[in-house]
Every structure is written in C-alpha cells, then in structure tokens.
Amino acid sequence: MSNNRGVIRFIARRLALGLFTLFVVSLVVFAATQLLPSDPAQAILGRDANAVSVAALRTKLGLNHTAFYQYTHWLKGMLSGNPGDSFNAQIPILSYISDRVVNSLFLLFLASVVSIPMSLWFGAYSARKRDTLFDNVTSNTMLALASLPEFVVGIILVLVFSLRVWHLLPAVSTIDIHKGPWSDMKGMVLPTATLVIGAVPYISRVVRASMIEVLESDYVEMARLKGAPEKVVLWRHALPNALGPVFQVIALNIAYFAAGVIVVEALFNYQGIGGALRDSVRVRDIPVIQFLVMVLAAVYVVTNLAADLATVLVTPRLRTRMR
C-alpha cells in the first residue's frame, strides 16, 4: 500500500528526533559532571587520601584526558553495554544495578497493568454518565487524589492499611533482591497502589474529556441519525477517535511512573533503581547517576515514540497524509 512509505518516514523522523533528544541529554548530563566543584577522585577517596592514590585513581578513571575524549569514551561504553564502574561500590554498574532495574520494571509493569484499564473504564463511564451523581463523585474524588504528592498518598496508605488502623499489609517491602519481587506479592500491594492512585486521575480525566468531545462530534450525531445501535456508536464511531490523546497521556504517565518509583521506593524501602539513585546522589556516585538518568530519559523517549505510533495507527488522516 502506498500509505506505508508515509508511515515509515514518520517513524524514521520521530526516531531521529528521539535519538537527538537522548544525544542532547547525554551532553547535558556529561557537561554537568564537568561542572562539579570538586575533583571526583578526591571525592571518592575522601579528603584525607594522599596525592599519589588520588593521582592513580584519576588515571584509572580517565580524568586526565580531554573532556572530549572522556565524553566519547563514556558514550562508547554506554552504547556497547559497558557503562563503567560505580565509584562507590567499585564494581561494574550493570552488575550493581541489574537486579534493581528488574525490580523497578516489575513495579512499573504492575502499576501500568492496573492503572490503564482502570482509567479507561472510569473515564469512558464518566463521559457516558456525564453530570450524573456518579460522574460528580468520581471527578471530585479524582481531583483530590490528583492533587496529592505520591509520598503523601503512600504514607496515608501505610497509616491506614498497615500501621495504625488495620494491620493487613506490610509497610515495607522485604523482597530478597536476588529472588525477584514476585516472591513477595503482598509487599507489592501498597507500592503499586500508591503509583496507581497517582496515575488514574490523570489518565481517566483525559479519557473522559476525549470521550465527551467525540460523543458531541458531528459524526457521532450522524451515526445516531443513521440508526446505529448505541453499542456501535460507542465502539465503532466514538472510541477509535477518542484514543489519540489517551495514548499520549498513558505514555506520559509511564514516564511519570519511572520518576515516581524514586519516591515510592524510598517510602517502602523497595530495592529498585530509585533507591540506587538516591544513594548515588548522596555519595556523588557520578557514573551510576549518569547511567540511571540516561535510562530514564530513554524510557521517556521510547514511550513517547510508542504513543506517537499508536496514535498514527488509529488516525487514518495522519497515516495517509504524511510528509
């Protein structure tokens, strides 16, 4: 089909744009470390370290080379899957972090799997029941929940479900980092719930607004005037046209989860990248920070790309009229 070329070009353009964004982020992240007020080698070894060992470490870390060399060296390492060693743990970043990445991804996965269908249902149903009691109660509850920072939500959940009111669920997650988080599903409940409560109000609000706009469109009115059964009006005429903005907000929320895990993991003492990042910031473990930031930026770029693609797939006008 002649349409495909347009789609491929569009994907190529978006991909290039995403890669460009990542490239600039890498420049910024690298430049930031160059601005550091103190010498990293000195920082690692502490103030009392002698000049000889600092010099040795500087050589080992490649700090004597030009900034350009350091940057390309670092970038090469990142791209070839060897981002270097952690300053603090003195072991390769990947072995330090890989289990934690899995844990965080699992949390992110659970939160997405719960929140996305829930938001779609709430949003679509509120749109249909617009201005009824259900809609009003939902939208006011969602409004209150949307305003709360996630650590406040988390603390309230802990107070209610594990410490003060009921003692149903563990307040901290006690997963064995090597066994995987699925070994302790009970411990996953509150962290997941915290993220879900943070995301559902946003997604469902967009779903509701998008559905309402579509339900008031001329073509939905036309479908009814053609004698379409209500089911067909909703599923064939309304929903596909309402999905575009929904994909965008879902992508945004997955990226938000990636940041939200930092606070949530700290709150529940969950062994993931959030904890690693927080610890690294505390001890200025630059290579680990750089690596994690690049990973999170990549998550953002990839989810956005996926949302753009999905939008194109449900929007023939974009699919066929591409430059």
Binders in 136-175 for other proteins, by CB under 8 A: 143-144, 146-152, 155-156, 158-159, 163-164, 171
Binding residues for other proteins, total number by CB under 8 A: 74
Question: Could you say which of 74, 208, 234, 237 contacts other proteins (CB under 8 A)?
Answer: 237
Residue 285: half-sphere exposure toward Cβ, Cα within 13 Å? 25
Chain centre distance of CA 264: 13
Q: Which is nearer to other proteins, 102 or 217 (CB)?
A: 217
Question: Could you say which of 35, 52, 79, 133 contacts other proteins (CB under 8 A)?
Answer: 35
For residue 237, give the H/E element and its range: none
Q: Which is nearer to other proteins, 164 or 178 (CB)?
A: 164
Helix (H, G, I), strand (E, B) or coil at 38: coil
Q: Find the length of the chain.
A: 323
Contacts of 281 (CB under 8 A, 6+ apart): 289
Q: Which is nearer to other proteins, 174 or 320 (CB)?
A: 320
Q: Whole-number minimum distance, CB 118 to other proteins, in Å?
A: 20
Residue 133 binding other proteins, by CB under 8 A: no
- 296-315 positions binding other proteins, by CB under 8 A: 296-297, 300-301, 314-315
Residue 240 binding other proteins, by CB under 8 A: yes
Question: Could you say which of 255, 276, 307, 312 contacts other proteins (CB under 8 A)?
Answer: 255
Q: What phi-psi label fits residue 46: left (phi over 0), alpha (psi between -120 and 50 degrees) or beta?
A: left
Cα gap 272→278, rounded to integer Å? 10
Question: Could you say which of 8, 19, 24, 137 contacts other proteins (CB under 8 A)?
Answer: 24
**DSSP-assigned states of every residue in 124-175:** HHHHHTTTSHHHHHHHHHHHHHHHS-HHHHHHHHHIIIIISS---S-SS---
Question: Could you say which of 94, 160, 169, 259 contacts other proteins (CB under 8 A)?
Answer: 259
Helix (H, G, I), strand (E, B) or coil at 214: helix
Given the rule CB under 8 A, which of 72-80, 88-96, 103-111, 253-261 is the region that contacts other proteins? 253-261
Residue 321 binding other proteins, by CB under 8 A: yes
Cα gap 25→34, rounded to integer Å? 14
Residue 236 binding other proteins, by CB under 8 A: yes
In which residue are the tokens 């650590």 written?
A: 151
Given the rule CB under 8 A, which of 70-78, 100-108, 117-125, 263-271 is the region that contacts other proteins? 263-271
Question: Could you say which of 96, 161, 256, 268 contacts other proteins (CB under 8 A)?
Answer: 256
- 179-218 positions binding other proteins, by CB under 8 A: 216-218
Residue 33 binding other proteins, by CB under 8 A: yes
Task: Give the x-and-dash track for 216-235 against other proteins (CB under 8 A).
Answer: xxxx-xxxxxxxxx--x---
Per residue in 1-33, is it b (16+ CB within 10 Å) or e — as a string?
A: eeeeebbeebeeebeeebeeebeebbeebbeeb
Cα gap 234→228, rounded to integer Å? 10
For residue 219, give the H/E element and its range: helix 218-225
Q: Which is nearer to other proteins, 38 or 50 (CB)?
A: 38
